[in-house]
Amino acid sequence: MDAKELFKIANEAAAKSYSPYSRFRVGAALVAEDGTIFTGTNVENRSFGLTICAERSALVAAVSAGHRRFTELVIATPDAEYPVSPCGACRQVLSEFMDPDAPVHFGSRPEDLVATTIGVLLPHDALHDLKGTS
């Protein structure tokens, strides 16, 4: 499945967002190693620190279903004027389960998708640095 098809799935997840405070919907489509696609959406809380991002929402669903390795992530931010990348917390959590060369795409529309990798989003990741020394 290509990034634009995954974007459509992520965008459908964004439509389910609970974002009454920011009104900024986010959806994610996370591909497990076996090809299973997990979706997630942002779930806000009036105490913003308790808000759950779409990326981590998809990851938690996937791990809860028994998956531990993921090969690709696509993020849809339909309310943004420009592509919005994952936050630092999501980058850190995703790096736990994705190789540095795993593709990540994000955007507000299919035609403006930015293509990058986990390694570019989180350079000098200590977890992967430590794995290389064992």
Could you give the residue numbers annotated as active site? 55
d(CA 114, CA 84): 9
* Non-local CB neighbours of 11 within 8 Å, separated by 6+ positions: 27, 76, 78
User: Pick from 77, 75, 66, 4: which is nearest to 36 by CA?
Assistant: 66
d(CA 103, CA 73): 7
Token pair in block for residue 128: 């992967």
Distances from the Cα of 118 to the Cα of 16, 20, 42, 43, 103, angstroms: 25, 29, 20, 23, 7
